[in-house]
Amino acid sequence: MKIALIGYGKMGHEVEKAALARQHSIVVTIDNAQEWKERFDLLKQADVAIEFSQPDQVVANIHRCFDLHLPTVVGTTAWQDHFEEIKQRCLAEQQSLFTAPNFSIGMNIMFLLNKQLARFAEQYGYQLSLAETHHIHKLDKPSGTAVKLANDIMAVDHDYDRWSIDAPSDHTLYINVVREGEVFGIHSVNAQSSADRITITHEAFNRQGLAAGALAAAEFLVGKTGVFGMEDLFRNV
């Protein structure tokens, strides 16, 4: 598989290592506006693009890939306000898009557990809250992963109709956000009753899990059209 890496920072380098280990090739890396001008034609050689750039760049990057009908895996978060716009173009033009708030296989297992916990929490009177910790360089707050955890809870637990990173309040799902050091990512869901507490936690030790998941998504996406996520990947398991 011939891969284009859009965004060649720490995650881009990690994806490159994972791809080469699986005998794929990297045909181009693009990390800034000048490289888009100089290397755009090289994208035509790629079977798929894997995008890990910045929130203010991702939408334009997706459109550029779509201009070439290049299947695109998007790992950048904090662009969901534009998701419907991108989705509509993808479907109208029979393009290929795979997006997820977190590509870690372990984190996606936690998403499944979180949904189950939320169902039982409402039925048996558990109060829920979230906590997430990331490195000081992370731009979005809360993380896209924490937002997905919160939205999945609200979809099944009617005690909550919004989430907030401010002080807890009625019908509000509280997300405690910490930015410190070089933490790769820790997400916890806490369920507490008068009798006990349940905590589900996922802690990333490095970026390898994210890279492996993004590469699995790219392998899955080639040859397909439509909008996909990790749930679609998991259906193949």
Q: What SS3 state is found at 144?
A: helix
Interior CA angle at 194 toward 122 and 201, to 5°? Answer: 65
DSSP letter, residue 165: S
152 phi and psi angles, rounded to 5 deg: -65, -35
What is the distance between the alpha carbons of residues 213 and 198, in angstroms, rounded to a whole number? 27
β strands within 33-109, DSSP E: 48-51, 72-74, 96-99
The DSSP secondary structure of 186-213, one letter per residue, reads EEEEEEE-SS-EEEEEEE-SSSHHHHHH
24 is catalytic: no
| Catalytic position from the list 24, 138, 187, 202 | 138
Which is the catalytic residue, given 13, 87, 134, 148?
134
Helix (H, G, I), strand (E, B) or coil at 168: coil
Whether 44 sits among the annotated catalytic residues: the reply is no
Residues belonging to the active site: 134, 138
